[in-house]
Amino acid sequence: SYLLSLHIRIGESEMVFSSLEFLFFFFPLVFIIYFFINPRYANLMLLMASLLFYYLGDKEHMRLLISAIAIAYLGGALIQKYKNIIVKKFILSVSLFLMLGMMAYYKYLNFMVENVNEFLNKNIETREIVLPIGISFFIFQAISYVIDIYRGEGALKNPIDMALYISFFPQLIAGPIIRFHDISEYMDRKYREINIENVENGIWRFSVGISKKVLLANNLGGLADIVFSVNNIKQCSVLYTWLGAIAYTLQIYYDFSGYSDMAIGLGEIFGFKFQENFNFPYAASSIKDFWRRWHISLSQFFRDYVYIPLGGNRCSIARRIFNMLLVWFLTGLWHGASWNYIIWGLAYGFILLIERKTLNENRKLLLIDVLGHIYTMISVVFLWVVFRTNDLMQAKLYITNMLGIGASSIVDGGFIFQVKNFAVLIIIAVVFCIPVPNVIKNKIGEKGWFQWIKAFMLVCCMVASVSYIYMGSYNPFLYFMF
């Protein structure tokens, strides 16, 4: 499946961040215990809560998470212990091999076997492998730990602190990816400031995130699923396929950024400062600008741990091109074992290479910025179609229909019907995915009446979100089984 629903269960009930079990059972219980427990046991308590959170969702792969923690802890300790650079490199290499090997087995073994069978005309049997929840996120954080220790960051002596860094439940299963050197100081409880302001800001941020997910992403996802599930897309009009692509473009932003907001908010409640993961990416005026704003933690991970170590821009033109395309190949592959993801990633790599040669980032003309924004969003929408479809043939058929090639008509009854149902939702989603609210806020300032209006609207959104969840409305969780 191109996207999978996240099911963390208590008995037969779902428990994701946008579930009643999490909102009214798991989080309140963890919150209350955390603020009454002796600070010296705070990290232990959060670790136990995080491991329980993962166990409830994927107990079959609990040993994999524990193994990643153990490898990273032992590797970091040995790297710091030995002074010989050759020994350090050997320990780092072994640690990376083991961690990447675990991820490769679960995510890519069957994909590799299927391609070997197809291209070499073999008949190797695939295995029944269940993908562990959040494997790429906790593996990448474990990788960040050993590399940062190798680069001189101080290793965590307490294994509880180390385990908490990798398994902390707010960002365990879908990020953001927290690099160790960005958060190492917060692993000591005494450096985490716990106060009413942090709790207030964290709850506010969490509320924004859950409103994005439940009120916007879920409903947009319903529309996207209707369109993308059509068996013969050529029977649909051009505008109908554009409507589905736009709905998915908005859905994936609100689902993923909503999750990041919830994770950042929960982290702040417990005194952790997570970096921003999204910064209005659909306001970008180039693809380079888009990837400065979209899934920031992933872009920074590949920049710091792959692109720069390969030489980055400090090498020949041919090597720079190779470095860039390798990074984007890995970015696509990281999202899943499918040629759709690989083509999606490489397409961004080629576009960025073209932009590097042609784009003048110092331009000041408004018209050029507007045209850049249009080109960027058209590119992003088309590439999200490649990302969303099940295979490259379906992506080809869908995109050619969007271009009017072989389409049944420009507009049809299905398009008109869905626009009548979803027009208001789409307009709201478009307005809030660009910095319009921030512009209004900056012009009005921090006036008391404006703060009250914002608080009232957010309370209404939270009540509506909880009502939706309680009524059992369409509530998928688009999280990537990375």
Q: How far apart are CA 360 and CA 362, in angstroms?
A: 5
Helix, strand, coil % (nearest 5) of the chain? 75, 0, 25
Asked if residue 478 lies in contact with residue 221, where contact means CB atoms within 8 angstroms, the answer is yes
DSSP-H helix ranges across 121-237: 135-150, 159-167, 180-183, 196-211, 218-228
> Mapped to the 3 state alphabet, what secondary structure does 389-440 carry?
CCCHHHHHHHHHHHCCCCCCCCCCHHHHHHHHHHHHHHHHHHHHCCCHHHHH
Quick check: 381 pLDDT over 70? yes
The Cα 265–Cα 273 span in angstroms is 9
pLDDT (tens digit, 9 = 90+) per residue, 307-365?
Answer: 999 988 888 889 999 999 999 999 999 998 999 999 999 999 999 999 988 876 666 66
Assess whether pLDDT exceeds 70 at residue 297. yes
By C-alpha distance, which of 76, 275, 270 is closest to 175? Answer: 275
d(CA 445, CA 358): 39
Which among 384, 385, 404 has a CA at the least distance from the CA of 395? 385
What is the rounded distance in angstroms from the CA atom of residue 385 to the CA atom of residue 434? 21
Residue 10 has pLDDT above 70, yes or no: no
Q: Residue 468: what pLDDT? A: 80
What pLDDT, on the 0 to 100 scale, is given for residue 443? 67
Confidence of residue 15 (pLDDT cuts 50, 70, 90): low
Predicted confidence at residue 427, as pLDDT, reads 94
Q: Is the pLDDT of residue 382 over 60?
A: yes
Amino acid 3: pLDDT? 37
478 beta partners: 5
Q: What is the DSSP letter of 215?
A: I
Give the residue numbers marked as catalytic. 335
Does residue 305 carry a pLDDT above 50? Answer: yes
Instruction: Name residues whose C-beta falls within 8 Å of residue 240's C-beta, 6 or more positions apart in sequence.
Output: 227, 411, 412, 414, 415, 418
Which residues have C-beta within 8 Å of that of residue 311, sequence separation ≥ 6? 319, 320, 323
- Average pLDDT value for residue range 34-57: 91
Q: Which two tokens stand for residue 449?
A: 């009446």
Amino acid 147: pLDDT: 96
Q: In whole angstroms, what is the distance from residue 461 CA to residue 467 CA?
A: 10
- Residues 6 or more apart whose CB falls under 8 angstroms from that of 74 comprise 95
State the DSSP string of 313-381.
TSS-HHHHHHHHHHHHHHHHHHH-SSHHHHHHHHHHHHHHHHHHHH--TT---HHHHHHHHHHHHHHHH
pLDDT at 363: 62
Helices (H) and strands (E) in the chain, counts: 20, 4
pLDDT of 196 reads 85
pLDDT at residue number 448: 63
Q: Which residues pair with 13 in a beta bridge?
A: 10
pLDDT tens-digit map of 396-427: 999 999 999 988 899 999 899 999 999 999 99
Q: What's residue 172's pLDDT? A: 86
CA atoms within 13 A on the CB side of 358: 10
Per cent of the chain over pLDDT 90 is: 59
Structural contact between residues 133 and 57, judged by C-beta atoms closer than 8 angstroms: yes
Rounded mean pLDDT, 45-59: 91
Among residues 474, 287, 481, the alpha carbon closest in space to that of 372 is found at: 287
Q: How far apart are CA 94 and CA 455, in angstroms?
A: 51
- pLDDT tens digit sequence for 254-283: 999 999 999 999 999 998 989 899 999 999
User: In whole angstroms, what is the distance from residue 458 CA to residue 350 CA?
Assistant: 41
C-beta separation of 267 from 171 below 8 A: yes
Could you report the per-residue pLDDT of 78-131, keeping only the tens digit for each?
999 999 999 999 999 999 999 999 999 999 999 999 999 888 888 888 888 888
Averaged pLDDT of the chain: 87
pLDDT score at 481:
41
Mind listing the pLDDT tens digit for each residue in 223-249? 999 999 988 888 899 999 999 999 999
